[in-house]
Amino acid sequence: MLLAENTHQKSLTPEAISVIKSLKVFFVENIKTTRRFISSLKEGIVIDELQFFEINQDTGFEEVYNFLQETEGDFGVISEAGCAGVADPGALVVEVAHQLGIKVNPLVGPNSILLALMASGFNGQSFVFHGYLPIKEEERAKKLRKIEKEATQKKQTQIFMETPYRNHQLLTTIYNNLNPATRLCVACDITSDSEFIKTQSVGTWKKKGLPDIQKRPTIFLIY
């Protein structure tokens, strides 16, 4: 099986394209957008000959297990954005594949967490991705202070995110709770034309006012 992502062609490697061309069965998050993505490759793939299995957060282990036991030949997992299997439902398919002894072949593709880490200038030898922070203000502030302490004590880059329409609230919580000397990287709209990535101290961010990142997918990193 292979793991790839539905992305801009400029971010696809020749290897990913050739593997997609060779497969007939795909696990996908969204059939409609995946069909459109495969068409956009203009590689002469006949979409109607392909078989799609839509996976979401409710897809169960057994469902995938039974399907895969009956599937002959190789298959792919294509995620909507970011890497298949990282912070998306593809991980379940990979888990089942390992249980069935199926070889798993990850393909190079864009991942905003890793691209943000590369572009932050922070420690890449030791880092943690927390996913989403708690929504409630008090818990969130507590978690942020804990994360800041760990960044300092363990010299470990701390990475987290927020639902885009709450980005400004998260920034406000950061400004009100973290040490002005702590460095914060805001990595917004990664790989798109409006990409914006900046690292500076919390104090400097605060002084310059909120950057306009509301409703834009953003990765936050502190160190």
* Site residues, a copy of itself (CB under 8 A): 3, 9-15, 83-88, 90-98, 103-106, 108-111, 113-131, 156, 185, 190-191, 195, 197-200
13 CB neighbour count, 10 Å cutoff: 12
The closest alpha carbon to 100, from 92, 110, 108, 111, belongs to 92
CB 167 within 8 A of CB 215: yes
d(CA 97, CA 101): 6
- In the bound state with a copy of itself, the residue whose beta carbon lies nearer, of 32 and 146, is 146
Task: Tell me the residue type at 6.
Answer: N
Q: How far apart are CA 52 and CA 35, in angstroms?
A: 9
The residue (of 12 and 20) whose beta carbon lies closer to a copy of itself is 12
176 vs 180, beta carbon nearer a copy of itself: 180
| Minimum CB distance to a copy of itself, residue 102 (Å) | 11
Distance of CA 123 to the CA centre of its chain: 19
Q: How far apart are CA 47 and CA 103, in angstroms?
A: 25
CB 42 → a copy of itself: shortest distance, Å? 13
Q: Give the span between the Cα atoms of 119 and 205, in whole angstroms.
A: 17
Q: What tokens appear for 189 in the block?
A: 């709209």
Nearer to a copy of itself, 96 or 222 (CB): 96
Closest to a copy of itself by CB, 43 or 176: 43
Nearer to a copy of itself, 54 or 95 (CB): 95
**Distances 120 to 5, 28, 139, 166, 182 between C-alpha atoms, Å:** 23, 31, 26, 22, 13
Smallest separation, CB 111 to a copy of itself (Å): 5
